[in-house]
């Protein structure tokens, strides 16, 4: 496993696996190398009998600033051994086929895979949880946030209707989800708690202790019972339309990319991390 992701055991009986994204210099922007390292870490946590629960964390000041669209480690053109689905290698394809095959694997497919991990998962969020960072937090069962955490999905500035793992109307009320998407504004940790997206908000210095303690407490429950309870809730969400809604939104997401590529300079509407940050500061 690459050092872009760290894996350690914590708790009195080392029953909690803490999986940490480790690209703090890029605010834990997710390239493919990190995604597959995360997958290996989740698989390891599932395999180790001594692990009762999992905490997902981000090193440094931020949980994750989203997908890597501009760091020196960006590797969207590179092939990786596929784990989440049966789509073919994207790296030697072109156009919409290339982007759809890659994102069906590394974004939508991986998040769905991690959501179904039979052991309970807790996202430990500080600082920025933006765009692709939301996807990682949302596929966890619980979210513990620091008071300085903020949440945002600003990809509408690219003409894209939302991130690939489109859980918005299920993790918050639909009208709040629309405001969240239409404005691209930051949602504070306390507001996220008010709308039911976050389970707990704690001071930054208490974040790690609170998240691990919660995971350790949950992990004392019967393992099979936890797995069944998690599956029951996940299936209820899917019966309420979550899976089908995500499939529909994923298609619209790629329609937007294709439109951008056809009418402009690229599939991201010419946006990069700096232009996204400027647009957010301008409120545009």
Assign residue 125 the CATH number of its domain. 3.90.226.10
Confirm whether 217 is domain-assigned.
no
Confirm whether 241 is domain-assigned.
yes
Handedness of CA 109, 111, 115, 120 (dihedral sign): positive
Residue-averaged pLDDT of the chain:
93
Taking alpha carbons only, the member of 254, 97, 275 closest to residue 162 is 254
Query: What backbone phi and psi angles, to 5 degrees, belong to 130?
Result: -120, 135
Total domains in the fold of the chain = 1
pLDDT value, residue 1: 44
Confirm whether 218 is domain-assigned.
no
pLDDT value, residue 233: 98
Hey, what are 181's tokens? 């998407």
Confirm whether 183 is domain-assigned.
yes
Strands (E), 84-235: 121-125, 128-130, 142-146, 150-152, 187-188, 200-202
Q: What is the mean pLDDT of residues 176-203?
A: 98
Q: Is 2 exposed, middle or buried (0-12, 13-18, 19+ CB in 10 A)?
A: exposed
pLDDT digits (tens, 9 = 90+) for 228-267: 999 999 999 999 999 999 999 999 999 999 999 999 887 7
Query: What backbone phi and psi angles, to 5 degrees, belong to 273?
Result: -55, -40
Taking the whole predicted model, whether its pTM rises above 0.85 is answered as yes
Q: What is the mean pLDDT of residues 97-112?
A: 94
Confirm whether 58 is domain-assigned.
yes
Confirm whether 213 is domain-assigned.
no
Range of the domain at 144: 5-205+223-282
Confirm whether 211 is domain-assigned.
no
Confirm whether 271 is domain-assigned.
yes
């Amino acid at each position: 496993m690459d050092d872009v992701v760290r894996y350690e055991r914590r708790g009195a009986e080392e029953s909690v696996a803490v999986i940490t994204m480790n690209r703090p210099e890029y605010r834990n922007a997710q390239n493919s190398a990190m995604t597959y390292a995360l997958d290996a870490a989740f698989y390891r946590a599932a395999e180790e009998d001594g692990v009762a629960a999992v905490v997902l964390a981000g090193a440094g000041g931020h949980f994750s600033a989203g997908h890597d669209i501009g760091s020196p480690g960006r590797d969207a053109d590179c092939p990786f051994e596929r784990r989440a689905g049966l789509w073919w290698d994207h790296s030697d394809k072109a156009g919409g086929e290339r982007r759809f095959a890659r994102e069906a694997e590394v974004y939508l497919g991986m998040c769905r895979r991690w959501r179904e991990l039979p052991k309970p998962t807790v996202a430990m969020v500080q600082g920025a949880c933006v765009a692709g960072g939301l996807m990682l937090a949302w596929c966890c069962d619980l979210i513990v946030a620091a008071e300085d955490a903020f949440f945002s999905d600003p990809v509408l500035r690219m003409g894209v209707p939302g991130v690939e793992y489109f859980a918005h109307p299920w993790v918050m009320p639909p009208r709040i989800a629309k405001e969240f998407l239409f404005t691209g504004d930051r949602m504070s940790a306390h507001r996220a708690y008010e709308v039911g997206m976050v389970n707990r908000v704690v001071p930054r210095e208490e974040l790690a202790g609170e998240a691990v303690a919660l995971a350790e407490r949950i992990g004392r429950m019967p393992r099979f019972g936890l797995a069944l309870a998690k599956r029951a809730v996940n299936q209820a969400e899917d019966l309420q339309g979550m899976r089908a809604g995500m499939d529909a939104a994923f298609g619209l997401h790629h329609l937007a990319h294709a439109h951008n590529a056809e009418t402009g300079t690229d599939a991201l509407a010419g946006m990069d991390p700096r232009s996204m940050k400027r647009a957010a500061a301008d409120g545009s």
